[in-house]
C-alpha cells in the first residue's frame, strides 16, 4: 500500500489559500475606494494615455480660440534668458499633509502655506477656494519681489490616484519641477504642467451650451464670475488642460497690476459659491490671467517638448 509523504492536514492550507487571497484583495479594494472617489471626477487617463485626445487638438472643431479681453495674448519673447534664475514652488497644504518632499527639488525654493493654521508663518486670509487662495495670496504678498519663475503646484508628491493629474512618470511633482524647461517658461511666460488635455480640452467650459447641466457648476457660474472679476463679456468657450498646476515667469505676473490680483482674491473671499466650484473657476482662468487665449490646448507632442524637453 502506498503511503502519502504528506499528512492530510498539511494539504489544508493549499485549499484555503485562494480564499485568503480573495479576502486580502477585497480589503485592499475597500481601502482605496474612497481615494479613488475623491480623485476621479471624470474618465481620467493615466500617465501616457493619449487615446482620448488628438495630438493636434488646439481648439474646438469649427471654431477658433477666443482671445481674452482682459489679459490679451503675449507673443513668446525672443530676449535672452537671464543667467541667474530664481525659482519658487508655491503650494497650499493642511497641517496633516507631509511636504518634506520639497527637499527633493533641485534649485527650487518653496513657499508652503498652511491654510488651516492661523499661526503659520505663511498663511491665507481665509481657507477658501482650494489652492486659488494660496496662489493669489503669494502673488499679492510678493508682488514687489517676485522670483524669475513661480511654479504653482499641489502639496502631494506623487502616486495614483492622489496625483493622477501630474503629467510625469510616477505622477511625480518632484520630477515635473526638476525636469521643467525653465527656458520655455521664461520665454513663453506661462506653462501648464499638464500636457494631456483630458479633462479640460478643447472646450470644458461652454457658456452657451444648448442644454444646461446642473452638475456643471463651474460652467454655470463662470459667466457671473468673469463679469465680476474682468468687467467684460466672457468668451463662449474656455478650454485648458486641468488641474491648476502651472509655472509662470515673474515678468508675466507683472503684466497685471497688483490690484487685479487683489480684486480676484476679494471675489474669492466674498463669493457664496462652495470651495470646489470657486476653486475650479480659477482652474479655468489661470491661463487667461497670465496672457493666454481662452482656449489654450497646445498639441500634445509639442507641449511635452516645450515643457519637459521630451521631444
Which of 264, 238, 269 minimizes the C-alpha distance to 253? 264
Exposure b/e, 78-110, CB count within 10 A at least 16 = b:
eeeeeeeeebbbbbbbeeeeebeebeebeebeb
* CA pair distance 258, 253, nearest whole angstrom: 9
Half-sphere exposure of 192 toward its Cβ, with a 13 Å CA cutoff?
32
| Residue 235 DSSP one-character state | P
pLDDT of residue 161: 76
* CA pair distance 203, 262, nearest whole angstrom: 28
pLDDT tens for 45-83 read 444 443 333 333 333 333 333 333 344 333 444 445 556
Helix ranges, 58-146 (H): 131-141
pTM (whole model) above 0.85: no
The secondary structure element, H or E, covering residue 278 is: helix 275-283
Which of 301, 173, 156, 148 minimizes the C-alpha distance to 246? 173
Domain boundaries, the chain: 87-308
C-alpha cell at 200: 479640460
Asked if 291 and 255 touch (Cβ cutoff 8 Å), the reply is yes
pLDDT tens for 165-201 read 788 888 889 999 999 999 999 999 999 999 999 999 9
Residues of the chain with pLDDT under 70: 1-83, 159, 164
| Residue 169 DSSP one-character state | G
Which of 33, 76, 55 minimizes the C-alpha distance to 252? 76
Amino acid at each position: 500500500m502506498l503511503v502519502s509523504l504528506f499528512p492530510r492536514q498539511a494539504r489544508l492550507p493549499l485549499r484555503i489559500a485562494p480564499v485568503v487571497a480573495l479576502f486580502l484583495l477585497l480589503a485592499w479594494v475597500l481601502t482605496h475606494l474612497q481615494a479613488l472617489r475623491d480623485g476621479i471626477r471624470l474618465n481620467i487617463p493615466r500617465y501616457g494615455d493619449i487615446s482620448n485626445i488628438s495630438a493636434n487638438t488646439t481648439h474646438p472643431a469649427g471654431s477658433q480660440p477666443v482671445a481674452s479681453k482682459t489679459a490679451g495674448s503675449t507673443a513668446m519673447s525672443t530676449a535672452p534668458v537671464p543667467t541667474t534664475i530664481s525659482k519658487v514652488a508655491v503650494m497650499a497644504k493642511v497641517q496633516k499633509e507631509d511636504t518634506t518632499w520639497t527637499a527633493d527639488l533641485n534649485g527650487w525654493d518653496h513657499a508652503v502655506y498652511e491654510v488651516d493654521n492661523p499661526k503659520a508663518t505663511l498663511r491665507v486670509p481665509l481657507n477658501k477656494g482650494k489652492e486659488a487662495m494660496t496662489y493669489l495670496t503669494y502673488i499679492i504678498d510678493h508682488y514687489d519681489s517676485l522670483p524669475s519663475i513661480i511654479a504653482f503646484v499641489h502639496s502631494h508628491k506623487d502616486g495614483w490616484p492622489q496625483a493622477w493629474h501630474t503629467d510625469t512618470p510616477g505622477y511625480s511633482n518632484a520630477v515635473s519641477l526638476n525636469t521643467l524647461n525653465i527656458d520655455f517658461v521664461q520665454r513663453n511666460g506661462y506653462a501648464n504642467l499638464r500636457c494631456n488635455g483630458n479633462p479640460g480640452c478643447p472646450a470644458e467650459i461652454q457658456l452657451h451650451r444648448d442644454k444646461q447641466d446642473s452638475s456643471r457648476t463651474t460652467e454655470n457660474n463662470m459667466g457671473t464670475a468673469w463679469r465680476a472679476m474682468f468687467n467684460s463679456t466672457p468668451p463662449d468657450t474656455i478650454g485648458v488642460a486641468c488641474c491648476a498646476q502651472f509655472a509662470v515667469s515673474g515678468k508675466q505676473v507683472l503684466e497685471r497690476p497688483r490690484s487685479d490680483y487683489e480684486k480676484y482674491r476679494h471675489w474669492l473671499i466674498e463669493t457664496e459659491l462652495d470651495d470646489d466650484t470657486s476653486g475650479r473657476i480659477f482652474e479655468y482662468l489661470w491661463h487667461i490671467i497670465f496672457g493666454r487665449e481662452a482656449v489654450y490646448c497646445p498639441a500634445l507632442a509639442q507641449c511635452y517638448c516645450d515643457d519637459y524637453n521630451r521631444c
